[in-house]
Amino acid sequence: QAVESGGGLVQAGGSLRLSCLASGMIFAINDMAWYRQTPGKQRELVAEITSGHSTNYADSVKGRFTISRDNAKNTVDLQMLSLSSEDTAVYYCNLSPPVDGYWGQGTQVTVSS
């Protein structure tokens, strides 16, 4: 299961770095991703990183968010810059595509305007 951390309350224009510790699988061979969800909306893909370190981003975060991974530590991070209120959500990491039984508790990111 994934364990996410690093969320919090930040002012608009600020930054946060989220971290995910993945366990229970051979991390290095799996594509990983960060997702987010706000109340009443479906969970959406934010960014993904392949086992070969290729990356892909949702249009809404391109140029502001950076996903990275450390295969030695089984972690995948999400650096978020220039945050806006529209980024407020619970952020989750999972495989890409996601596996139902692998969702963690997520980490709340709240951006105040």
Taking only the tens place, the pLDDT of each residue in 75-97 is 999 999 999 999 999 999 999 99
Q: What tokens appear for 98 in the block?
A: 């996601």
pLDDT value, residue 23? 87
pLDDT value, residue 95? 96
pLDDT value, residue 29? 86
pLDDT value, residue 24? 80
Please state whether 40 falls in left (phi above 0), alpha (psi between -120 and 50) or beta.
left
Q: Which residues of the chain have pLDDT under 70?
A: none
